[in-house]
Amino acid sequence: MPPPDDSPTVPTEDTTPSETKPLRLDAMPADMPLARAPARGDARPRAIAWFGFSAFWGHLRHLLASAIATDNVDSRQWMVPEEPQVLLDRAVARLRLRGAKPAPTLTEAMGGELWLDFVSDTGDDVTVSERVAEMVSAVYEVTDGEGTLVLPRGDVLFLGGDLAYPVATVREVTRRLVEPWNRVLSKAPPGPPRLLLAVPGNHDWYDGLDGFARLCQAPLPFEENLGVEALEPKPNAFPVLAWAEAFAKGEQVEKPKAMAIHGYFPVQRTSYFRLPLANGLDLFGVDRQLKQVDERQSAFFKREPRSRAKVVIVPDPARAWGEKTAHGEATLASIGIAPAEVPTLVLAGDIHHYERSEEGPSVHVVAGGGGAFLHGARVAGRATYEILAEFPGKRASRALLARLPRTLALGGSGWLVLVFFALMSVFPLVTAAAGNARSALPLAGIIGAVYTVCAVMLAGLRKHRPHRVIPFSIVTGFALAAVPLVLGAEVHTWLAGAPRMLGLVLSLALSTMACGYLFGVFLAVLAAVGVNHEQSWAALGVPGFKCFMRLRVRSTEGGSTVDAWVVGQVDPVRKSPLVLVDRFTFATPESSPVD
């Protein structure tokens, strides 16, 4: 028997279906450089500048959360995962107005066909968040192997982690995800309630899953019915001051008890779960926290027969940018998943890019295009596996990457790094302005060493061989240290006879911009040679190339089939046309692919 309906009463769509005209999707044009970069939104909160002051708070929270995780303080140990049947019964009860009836799997409960939307890495630029919500809420029409096919909005919305940036606090999840999505979804055509499922990413764990739980955790029967309050949460506008005041008084900060996305209801009680998805096909939602899968979770997943096919949703991929990732592979191994042996559809976000590849009978998909800045394609050669589809492609990514030095020099990546360069340049410039550049050489040597250490850390020494990282970092570090000396001497000569302060201010401005440009070149080269992809694209902060996946799961007598369509938008702020980025099918061994 299904459990009683214990979810809070949240205003949702009418239960009477409404006809919606599908949007026609055409295939993505061939990979080519863009005439102009995708635009950033003007509405607040704007996109996080990852080398800016806003992101600095996120980096501090990252360090603190990582220190706690390293000490093996793990809140997952308090979680009691439910049996798959219990979760299935609650999901079916919630979907009963959509025609669900008790059955062995969720797809069979929906009459043999289930639609699921997957979106990850969501809340950043609020304008982009609204565009992504519009994409997810739309109905599409495509030309398929079956003829013209309509892709309805999913019965289930699956959030793949990193709900908001830089830290998924209640306030940031509200501002960057809940509010913009609800503005869109409250105007969507009416229809019965849908399910919300999710796995947490690293940015969710920076806040100890507080924001994640208030949005994605199903309430218990005895908890308060929140109603409209969950759809319109009111977090404190000044969280640091609120924390300081509460700390001084020995109290706790007041927060919304729950948050809700319009028309979607959470059904999971823990950050990880198993769900019978279709005939011979299970759904695993995995939580790696900041370090690794815990022992209890590992034992929970390994109880499932290894021979069954699976859809496994993990917080970070086992392969990305043409390379295998140690964290991702360790996550799969810890729960008994061997993609090379057993058919598995591995879905992941974390990387803000779309990429599809195959490993034996399995398919790996990275689809973190839900709203955060873009991670472009691998532009270096020597990929360790064949990339079957990506969005954007190499040519567009190279063209965007070429903008990085100028973007960083002009403050487009944030002002924190430029302030750092300015402070590091003051003393060499003062010495150079005095006409005695030689006396600044020892100081420049120390500054060059500091820059070198920072460059080595950004390049990721632990991930790459030292001979690929250290020499390049040394050259960059001492080149940055030489910039104020050279510019200071040149400006002093050029402005001979002018007030010294004028020369100092001018040389400081030029030196700061030159160091920013040179640092941008360093980051662009790291990506171009395949050493580090994350930092360069974070600095560039491209708000375009957003995407989500619409999946159709079908149960048959012989097994099950998952058909996937990837919907994308190159320039969300300027509302460029929606395009079909990719189309593929994943089938269990007993099934035949349908194209």
Mean pLDDT by 10 residues, the chain (595 residues): 40 43 90 90 93 77 68 79 96 96 97 97 97 97 87 97 94 96 91 95 93 93 77 82 71 85 96 95 95 92 82 96 93 95 96 96 97 95 92 95 95 93 88 67 87 85 69 90 84 73 86 95 91 90 97 89 97 96 89 45
| CA distances in angstroms from 179 to 14, 392, 548, listed in the order given | 20, 28, 19
Residues 218 and 343 in one domain: yes
Residues 529 and 582 in one domain: no
Residues 488 and 575 in one domain: no
pLDDT recorded at residue 3: 38
Domain boundary pick from 539, 555, 577: 539
Q: Give the chain's radius of gyration (CA, Å).
A: 26
- Answer yes or no: is 3 within a domain: no
Q: In this structure, what are the phi and psi dihedrals at residue 578, rounded to the nearest 5 degrees?
A: -75, 145
- Answer yes or no: is 90 within a domain: yes
pLDDT recorded at residue 428: 82
- Answer yes or no: is 386 within a domain: no
- C-alpha 483/C-alpha 488 separation (Å) is 8
Containing domain of residue 222, as a range? 32-374+541-587
**Alpha carbon 131 to chain centroid, angstroms:** 16
Terminal CA-to-CA distance of the chain, rounded, Å? 38
Residues 282 and 430 in one domain: no
- C-alpha 169/C-alpha 125 separation (Å) is 16
Tracing tokens 């499932």 back to the chain, one arrives at: 304
- Answer yes or no: is 398 within a domain: no
- Answer yes or no: is 566 within a domain: yes
Residues 248 and 119 in one domain: yes
- Answer yes or no: is 243 within a domain: yes
**Alpha carbon 504 to chain centroid, angstroms:** 42
Residues 200 and 76 in one domain: yes
pLDDT recorded at residue 81: 92
Cβ of 136: how many Cβ atoms within 10 Å?
Answer: 23
pTM of the model: 0.92
- Answer yes or no: is 8 within a domain: no
- Answer yes or no: is 229 within a domain: yes
Residues 60 and 97 in one domain: yes
Q: Please state the domain count of the chain.
A: 2
Which letter, b or e, does each residue of 276-303 get, where b requires 16 or more Cβ atoms within 10 Å of its Cβ?
bbbbbbbbbbbbbbbeebbeebbebbee
Q: Which two tokens stand for residue 79?
A: 């979680």
What are the helix (H) ranges across 464-582? 466-494, 500-528, 534-540
Residues 75 and 39 in one domain: yes
Residues 295 and 311 in one domain: yes
| CA distances in angstroms from 181 to 135, 251, 368, listed in the order given | 11, 32, 17
Residues in a beta bridge with 128:
none
Cβ of 99: how many Cβ atoms within 10 Å?
Answer: 11
Q: Which two tokens stand for residue 152?
A: 């309805």
pLDDT recorded at residue 60: 76
Q: Which two tokens stand for residue 70?
A: 């390293």
Q: In this structure, what are the phi and psi dihedrals at residue 449, rounded to the nearest 5 degrees?
A: -65, -40
Residues 484 and 574 in one domain: no
- C-alpha 214/C-alpha 170 separation (Å) is 8
Burial of 414 (0-12, 13-18, 19+ CB in 10 A): buried
DSSP 94-144: HTGGGT----SSHHHHTTSEEEEEEE-S-BSSHHHHHHHHHHHH--EEEEE
Q: What CATH code is carried by the domain that includes residue 289?
A: 3.60.21.10
pLDDT recorded at residue 304: 74
- Helices (H) then strands (E): counts for the chain: 19, 20
Pairing verdict, β 362-367 and 344-348: parallel
Residues 512 and 370 in one domain: no
Q: Which residues contact 156 (CB under 8 A, 6 or more apart)?
A: 106, 114, 115, 116, 117, 194, 195, 196, 197
Residues 524 and 573 in one domain: no
pLDDT recorded at residue 23: 93
- C-alpha 352/C-alpha 118 separation (Å) is 13
